Amino acid sequence: MGSVPALNSTKPTQIPTQEEDSQNPSTALLSFDTDSSDPSNPPRKHTTTIIFISLLLITCIALSAASAFAFLFFSSASSSSSTPAQKSSHLETTSRPLTKLNRSVVLLISSDGFRFGYQFKTPTPNIHRLIANGTEAETGLIPVFPTLTFPNHYSIVTGLYPAYHGIINNHFIDPLTGEFFTMGSHEPKWWLGEPLWETVANHGLRAATYFWPGSEVHKGSWNCPEEFCMFYNGSVPFEERVDKILSYFDLPSAEIPLFMTLYFEDPDHQGHQVGPDDPEITEAVAGIDRMIGRLINGLEKRGVFEDVNIIMVGDHGMVGTCDKKLIFLDDLASWIDIPAEWVLSYTPVLSIRPPHGVAPWSVVGKMNEGLRSGKVNNGKHLKLYLKEELPSRLHYSASDRIPPIIGLLEEGFKVEQKRTKRQECGGAHGYDNAVFSMRTIFIGHGPEFARGRKVPSFENVQIYNLVTSILKIQGAPNNGSLEFPRSVLLPSPK
């Protein structure tokens, strides 16, 4: 929050100088004749004039004093009306000391599909408590492209763009081996980079994961230890997940994991079914807020709430989609035939790998010609690229796993192979990460975060270095900036 501006003080009334009197008729009453030799000017007139001036001086002094008092009073009132978060935000210059824990702890929470702005759909007192007493990305957290669940969750914990950590989509094919990656693939060969739980384990420290894409993978020094690494099971109630995290704080101090993850599927689940503006979303957001409240209450009962660095994020946003915003590949038949076997994903990232002998550049040229012709329904809302020619800000070319042809769809549009009679409206994500509806949330609360602070939006690849900075451990090379944590975290006391 910004500080309350000080009220302007009223300037004290000033007695005009003699030079001003001679030029200003309105002050003539203040001048008086001192020539007592003039018989037409009796002593009584002198006495009256002196009394008048004395009263005027007293009045001016009183007005000045009243103005000064009013200034001090209202300035004090404005200052006292500031929230505790406002006050401490200006006063805090270093991170706050721990009161119960022996070392810094980071709890990373993901609410899947929590679009930026959802926090205002319904009262969310617990989320807003974290915001008011913590640090928030003022206009949301920027996901990486493609704005999909697995690529973004893994970027958050590795600090790498998908082209470098290997999870380039929720589903894809390795062109070298022909093997398929699915969200149930736990073989280390798919998961490149070094996720935070592995980094923590490399330092001989304990981590715990209650669901997070990639956390089940045995990789490097991380072997997904029992009781501290939960295999994904979407049927586990949210309350049970929260309570398990809380139970770690009942362990002896030396055994408490220093890094933990907690994952909720909502409100992504509802968003796909009904879009971002349905009452079901409101209910889902309220449910997430209750879980945050359950977590806060549990930490407070254990006396560690103010010691734990909570980072709450989402992986992407959500936008509404309907059948009227469809593009059909079969409508391009006059220019080029795109068989379904060429297409690896349709929406919102159109990914095409033509067979050997078919030049990708030729496919792109013919498809764009048809889309620009005005004869393909909604064609102007899709543009095809060779992956090397995608906007560099997307960082989506430096991997063989990325198909050679990528189509970028405008917000809310979908691609399908052929026309059907199906009619539906729902929600989707995966679009260009420059689209504002794809933004999600970032909230940091705890001793390393200033209270009531707003920071500019940033990409989620920066979070890896934030966590390693809080834990004071050496991280692996990544796409984030080593300087970035200084712009978000409070410095340590000297």
Task: Give me the active site residues, please.
Answer: 149
Inter-residue contact 87 to 25 (CB < 8 Å): no
Q: Give CA–CA dist 251/257, Å, rounded.
A: 9
* Rounded Cα gap, residues 461 and 199, in angstroms: 15
Angle 198-460-176 (CA atoms, 0-180°, nearest 5)? 65
Task: Count other C-beta atoms under 10 Å from residue 406's C-beta.
Answer: 25
3-state secondary structure 416-484: ECCCCCCCCEEEECCCCCCCHHHCECEEEECCCCCCCEEECCCEHHHHHHHHHHHHCCCCCCCCCCCCC
Cα angle 79, 84, 86; round to 5: 65
Provide CB contacts within 8 A for 176, sequence distance 6+.
Answer: 400
- Tokens at residue 271, please? 């968003």
Query: Is the four-CA dihedral 381, 385, 403, 394 of positive or negative sign?
Result: negative
Structure tokens at 233: 């099971």
- HSE-CB at 431 with a 13 A cutoff on CA atoms is 24
173, β-bridge pairs: 180
Q: Which helix (H) or strand (E) holds 415?
A: strand 414-416
Own/partner contacts of 61-66, CB < 8 Å, gap of 24 or more, are: 63/12, 63/13, 64/12, 64/13
